[in-house]
């Protein structure tokens, strides 16, 4: 995927998330949602380095991952609206959306829940002698779940084709990483399992793309897993009701200045690969795309009541 496409995709995610935020705020959608505003370069940079046949596991903050893996904003919005045209037929919502055709093995409401799924998928790939890789997104909070240690150890021992990508956005809900890690870099843990570990600027799309491309090529060649720590920041609250009392507005402003979309935009402008007019056009086109997604979601039907028990296995 070229950089202009990445730029467009980052805007798609940003505008999608802003629209979802508006809907939870005005009561159009009930409950809550976890938005990835500010973390777009990690989602897009990582998926841009994958093949369509590769797999991704996601988190509770997964809209960006899904759109980056090729998800259709219309069917994603429909899922949030609980409509039958949604990726999980409206029964999953934000934290239970999946699409096997896209290689998207699911968002996940369990912190760290995607880590064993990714590891199992990588084992399946290895046993079938396929050349796919699995990219596993998870947060800094998830890196302190027990399953993280178990899964990374096994993946390294068995040389599984998986990339563990930690989106270190400095907080797990209200808890800062300085209160939960006695080491400065999460990537340093890789050494304990016997795999490469790298800390990457997660707001630099090209840095993320390059790091994932290298890890993917290593995994495809039978070299086993990699742990990547992408340092980033969510520019919004953890979820709808978060008043962000655990961090300062100054800190947020510092990170706003490192906005990943503006950064790639400025780099493309400076390189003469993008003009201001083109940038504005891309934003407008993506805003229209999101409006179409909303219209599609609104017009779509809900599942009939008779379908309520379909897919219930236990
Ligand atoms: C097993 C489990 N414990 C706790 C929670 C509650 N919870 C939801 S999100 C979250 C924070 C996760 O932090 P992190 O992994 O850093 O992801 P981020 O929200 O920063 O993207 C927690 C503790 C949960 N969903 N699952
Ligand atoms: Mg976090």
Residue 309 forms part of a structural domain: no
Ligand 1, atom 17: closest residue by C-alpha: 139
**Burial label, 41 (beta-carbon count in 10 A; 0-12, 13-18, 19+):** buried
Q: Which residues contact 119 (CB under 8 A, 6 or more apart)?
A: 134, 136, 151, 154, 155, 160, 162
Residue 12: is its pLDDT beyond 90? yes
Quote the number of domains for the chain.
1
Which is the closest atom of ligand 1 to the Cα of 109? 25
Instruction: Output the average pLDDT for the chain.
Output: 97
**Burial label, 284 (beta-carbon count in 10 A; 0-12, 13-18, 19+):** exposed
Residue 53: is its pLDDT beyond 90? yes
CA of 240 to the centre of ligand 1 (A): 14
Q: Which residues line ligand 1 (CB under 6 A)?
A: 59-61, 109-111, 139-142, 169, 171-173, 238
pTM of the model: 0.97
Residue 244 forms part of a structural domain: no
Q: What is the helix (H) or strand (E) element at residue 268, kind and residue range?
A: helix 260-270
Residue 314: is its pLDDT beyond 90? no
Q: What is the pLDDT of residue 177?
A: 98
Residue 308 forms part of a structural domain: no
Domain with 59, as residue range(s), is 3-239+254-296
Cβ atoms within 10 Å of 51's Cβ, excluding its own: 11
Q: What is the pLDDT of residue 308?
A: 82
**Burial label, 26 (beta-carbon count in 10 A; 0-12, 13-18, 19+):** exposed
Residue 202: is its pLDDT beyond 90? yes
Residue 246 forms part of a structural domain: no
Q: What is the pLDDT of residue 309?
A: 87
| Ligand closest to the CA atom of residue 138 | 1
Residue 1: is its pLDDT beyond 90? no
Residue 313 forms part of a structural domain: no
Interval 199-217 mean pLDDT: 98
162: nearest Cα among 180, 145, 184, 137: 137
168 beta partners: 231
Quick: pLDDT tens for 239-256: 988 999 999 999 999 999
Residue 249 forms part of a structural domain: no
Quick: pLDDT tens for 66-125: 999 999 999 999 999 999 999 999 999 999 999 999 999 999 999 999 999 999 999 999
Quick: pLDDT tens for 225-237: 999 999 999 999 9
Residue 143 forms part of a structural domain: yes
Distance of alpha carbon 187 from alpha carbon 201, whole angstroms: 12
Strand-strand pairing, 175-176 and 171-172: antiparallel
CA of 291 to the centre of ligand 1 (A): 30
| Ligand closest to the CA atom of residue 142 | 1
Q: What is the pLDDT of residue 211?
A: 98
| Ligand closest to the CA atom of residue 137 | 1
Contact between residue 65 and residue 43 where contact means Cβ atoms under 8 Å apart: yes
Contact between residue 199 and residue 112 where contact means Cβ atoms under 8 Å apart: no
Ligand 1, atom 19: closest residue by C-alpha: 172
CA of 109 to the centre of ligand 1 (A): 8
Contact between residue 42 and residue 232 where contact means Cβ atoms under 8 Å apart: yes
Q: What is the pLDDT of residue 240?
A: 86
Residue 314 forms part of a structural domain: no
CATH of the domain at 56: 3.40.50.970
Q: What is the helix (H) or strand (E) element at residue 231, kind and residue range?
A: strand 226-231
Residue 313: is its pLDDT beyond 90? no
Quick: pLDDT tens for 111-165: 999 999 999 999 999 999 999 999 999 999 999 999 999 999 999 999 999 999 9
What residues are neighbours of ligand 2 (ion), with CB under 5 Å?
139-140, 169, 172
Distance of alpha carbon 165 from alpha carbon 212, whole angstroms: 9
Question: What percent of the chain is predicted at pLDDT more than 90?
Answer: 96
Pocket test for ligand 1, best of 141, 164, 175 (most atoms within 8 A of CB): 141
Q: What is the pLDDT of residue 311?
A: 82
Distance of alpha carbon 38 from alpha carbon 251, whole angstroms: 13
């Amino acid at each position: 995927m070229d950089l202009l496409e990445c730029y467009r995709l980052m805007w798609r995610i940003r505008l999608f998330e802003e629209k979802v935020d508006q809907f939870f705020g005005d009561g159009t959608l009930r409950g809550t949602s976890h938005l990835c505003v500010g973390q777009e370069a990690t989602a897009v940079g990582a998926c841009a380095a994958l093949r369509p046949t590769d797999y991704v596991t996601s988190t509770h903050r997964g809209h960006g991952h899904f759109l980056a893996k090729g998800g259709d904003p219309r069917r994603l919005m429909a899922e949030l609206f609980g409509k039958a045209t949604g990726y999980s037929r409206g029964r999953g919502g934000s934290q239970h959306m999946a699409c096997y055709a896209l290689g998207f093995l699911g968002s996940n409401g369990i912190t760290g829940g995607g880590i064993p799924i990714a590891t199992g998928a990588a084992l399946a790939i290895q046993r079938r002698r396929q050349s796919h890789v699995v990219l596993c997104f998870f947060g800094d909070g998830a890196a302190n779940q027990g399953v993280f240690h178990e899964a990374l150890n096994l993946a390294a021992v068995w040389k599984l084709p998986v990339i563990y990508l930690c989106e270190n956005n400095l907080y797990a809900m209200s808890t800062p990483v300085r209160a939960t890690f006695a080491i400065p870099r999460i990537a340093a843990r890789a050494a304990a399992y016997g795999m490469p570990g790298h800390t990457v600027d997660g707001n630099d799309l090209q840095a993320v793309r390059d790091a994932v491309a290298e890890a993917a090529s290593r995994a495809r060649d039978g070299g086993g897993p990699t742990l990547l720590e992408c340092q980033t920041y969510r520019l919004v609250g953890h979820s709808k009701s978060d008043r962000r009392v655990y961090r300062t507005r100054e800190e947020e402003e510092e990170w706003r200045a490192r906005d990943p979309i503006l950064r790639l935009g400025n780099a493309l402008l400076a390189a003469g690969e993008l003009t201001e007019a083109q940038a504005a056009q891309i934003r407008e086109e993506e805003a229209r795309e999101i409006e179409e997604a909303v219209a599609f979601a609104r017009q779509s039907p809900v599942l009939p009541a008779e379908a309520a028990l379909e897919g219930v296995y236990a």
